[in-house]
């Protein structure tokens, strides 16, 4: 979902930084997966053309910059973007800022001209700028360690060139030169100095990428809603592809088309909220229950919604299925699942009849309607939660109509309609809502 790029001069430590950042993202955050790439692409014809233009020095600066731009635009839309839309994180060693520095500043084409050539390329969500004294960097390059694993002869030039490259990065990434449009939309972190120990360098990088990820910024190149809908589609496909284990205590899941179990959406929400509120009210005085009070909170909606599309309540599988938009910390996920199981009784656990397998567990059929509803109304859940808090004495069946008619949430309404088109209206007898009035009607299950 995020495009993270690593920038800096030759020998500065970009390769190590790329490895460290991708490992942290892969191990600590709920991306579907994390892909590592780099530019120019040595395994692609366009990338090789760009590399050859530097090696041979037979093309004009404009043509050289154009070849790098062609490789980048193709890479952006043919390889990176499909991964971002699928919830995959991408870490790239070099990207647009390399061209702005190497061709725009050092090559004296001008950053505006180079930016224009690359204007159709993706914008890095985060650029991590790795810095190193050119003398230290050249010593690394010549030491054999870096040279033995690289064929970047086109960049292994003089210390004077490396000084110019470093100054170019300082000018561009420190803000001395205004970043050209549209590449001013992404975040830049640095310089991350890499002149001490490797452990010190790794520690700095881990802290920086964790801080960025925990801030949950909106992606630059894709809409979070599109990413999440794609992941919901994959979850549904996966769920439908799994066979139920009849005879082993695993009950068949609720019929896909009748996921509301005959109720209206507002009633499903009301009943689940009341059950949750009753449990909290009955908790012994002084007993700590670390769960939100409203079931439309991010964590409860996310976990219940995801469980409703799965055939297991296994924590590891659940966290893998949450994806980057519905992500919840591992500790809080465990807390919510324990609460759903022990307090609300939403999870069914049973013994396996095969050997000594661990007991299987999954969300109970009677709890799935709220989970599916949480996924369907995800774009409007915050508005609904605020409405419930502001109007405690008004019947919840009026909530969605008042929210929609306020005209404040057109994008969320559109996204909700698109989600229901994927999940289904929940009742065979009720048509798929196509507009705002249909959505209000669907909420109450009353035909217009």
Q: What is the chain's pLDDT, residue by residue, as a tens digit (448 residues)?
A: 999 999 999 889 999 999 999 999 999 988 989 999 999 999 999 999 999 998 888 889 899 999 999 999 999 999 999 999 999 999 999 999 999 999 999 999 999 999 999 999 999 999 999 999 888 887 777 775 444 444 454 444 567 888 999 999 999 999 899 999 999 999 999 999 998 899 999 999 999 999 999 998 999 999 999 999 999 999 998 877 654 433 333 344 445 789 999 999 999 999 999 999 999 988 756 566 789 999 999 999 999 999 999 988 888 889 889 999 999 988 999 999 999 999 999 998 765 545 555 556 889 999 999 999 999 999 999 999 999 999 999 999 999 999 999 999 999 999 999 999 999 999 988 999 999 999 999 999 976 5
- Judging by beta carbons within 10 Å of its beta carbon (0-12, 13-18, 19+), is residue 398 exposed, middle or buried? middle
Instruction: Give residue 218's pLDDT.
Output: 93
The pLDDT value recorded for residue 20 is 97
* Cβ contact 368:253 at 8 Å: yes
Distance CA 326, CA 330 (A): 12
Rounded CA-CA distance 259/92 in Å is 42
Burial string for 354-376 (b: 16+ CB within 10 Å, else e) reads eeeeeebbbbbbebbbbbbbbbb
Structure tokens at 257: 């088309």
Distance CA 439, CA 44 (A): 48
* pLDDT of amino acid 149: 40
- The confidence score (pLDDT) of residue 256 equals 73
Task: Tell me the pTM.
Answer: 0.84
DSSP-assigned beta bridge partners for residue 187: 126
Give the C-alpha separation, 254 to 268, whole Å. 15
User: Which residues touch 303 (CB under 8 Å, ≥6 apart)?
Assistant: 318, 322, 328, 333, 336, 337, 340
Q: What is residue 146's predicted lDDT score, i.e. its pLDDT? A: 46
Q: Return the biggest CA–CA distance within the chain.
A: 80
Question: For the domain 3-214, what is the CATH code?
Answer: 3.40.50.300
| Cis peptide, bond prior to residue 40, ω within 30 of zero | yes
Domain boundaries, the chain: 3-214, 254-444
- Identify whether the C-beta of residue 443 lies closer than 8 Å to the C-beta of residue 432: no
What is residue 255's predicted lDDT score, i.e. its pLDDT?
Answer: 57
Q: What is the pLDDT of residue 252?
A: 40
Residue 189 has a pLDDT of: 96
Q: What is the CA radius of gyration of the chain?
A: 26
Q: Which two tokens stand for residue 282?
A: 């009955």
pLDDT of residue 250: 38
pLDDT of residue 247: 36
């Amino acid at each position: 979902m995020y495009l993270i790029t690593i920038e800096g001069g030759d020998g500065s430590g970009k390769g190590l930084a790329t490895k460290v950042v991708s490992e942290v993202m892969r191990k600590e955050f709920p991306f579907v997966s994390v892909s590592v790439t780099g530019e120019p692409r040595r395994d692609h014809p366009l990338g090789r053309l760009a590399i050859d233009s530097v090696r041979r020095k037979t093309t004009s600066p404009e043509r050289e910059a154009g070849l790098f731009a062609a490789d980048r635009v193709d890479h952006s839309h043919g390889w990176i973007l499909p991964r971002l839309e699928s919830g995959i994180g991408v870490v790239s060693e070099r990207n647009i800022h390399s061209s702005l520095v190497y061709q725009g500043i050092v090559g004296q084409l001008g950053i505006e001209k180079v930016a224009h050539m690359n204007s159709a390329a993706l914008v890095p969500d985060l650029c991590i700028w790795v810095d190193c004294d050119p003398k230290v960097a050249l010593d690394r390059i010549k030491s054999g360690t870096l040279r033995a694993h690289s064929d970047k002869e086109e960049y292994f030039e003089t210390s004077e060139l490396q000084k110019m490259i470093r100054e170019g990065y300082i000018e561009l990434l420190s803000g001395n030169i205004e970043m050209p449009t549209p590449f001013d939309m992404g975040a830049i972190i640095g310089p991350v100095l890499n002149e001490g120990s490797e452990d010190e360098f790794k520690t700095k990088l881990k802290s920086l990428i964790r801080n960025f990820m925990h801030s949950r910024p909106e992606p630059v190149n894709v809409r979070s809603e599109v990413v999440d809908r794609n992941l919901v589609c994959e979850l549904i496909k996966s769920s439908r592809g799994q066979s139920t284990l009849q005879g082993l205590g695993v009950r068949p899941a609720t019929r896909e088309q009748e996921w509301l179990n005959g109720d209206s959406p507002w009633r499903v929400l009301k009943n689940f909220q009341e059950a949750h509120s009753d449990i909290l009210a009955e908790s012994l005085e002084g007993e700590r229950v670390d769960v939100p009070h409203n079931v439309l909170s991010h964590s409860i909606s996310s976990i219940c919604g995801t469980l409703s599309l799965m055939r297991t309540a296994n924590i590891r599988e659940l966290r893998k299925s949450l994806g980057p938009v519905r992500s919840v910390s591992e500790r809080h996920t465990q807390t919510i699942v324990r609460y759903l199981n022990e307090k609300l009784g939403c999870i069914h656990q049973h013994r396996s009849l095969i050997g000594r397998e661990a007991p299987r567990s999954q969300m109970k059929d009677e709890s799935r309607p709220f989970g599916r509803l949480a996924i369907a109304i995800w774009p409007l859940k915050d508005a609904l939660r605020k409405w419930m808090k502001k109007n405690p004495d008004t019947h919840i069946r009026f909530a969605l109509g008042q929210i929609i008619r306020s005209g404040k949430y057109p994008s969320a309404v559109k996204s909700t309609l698109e989600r229901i088109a994927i999940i289904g209206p929940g009742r065979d007898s009720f048509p798929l809502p196509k507009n705002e009035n249909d959505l209000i009607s669907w909420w109450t299950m009353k035909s217009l």
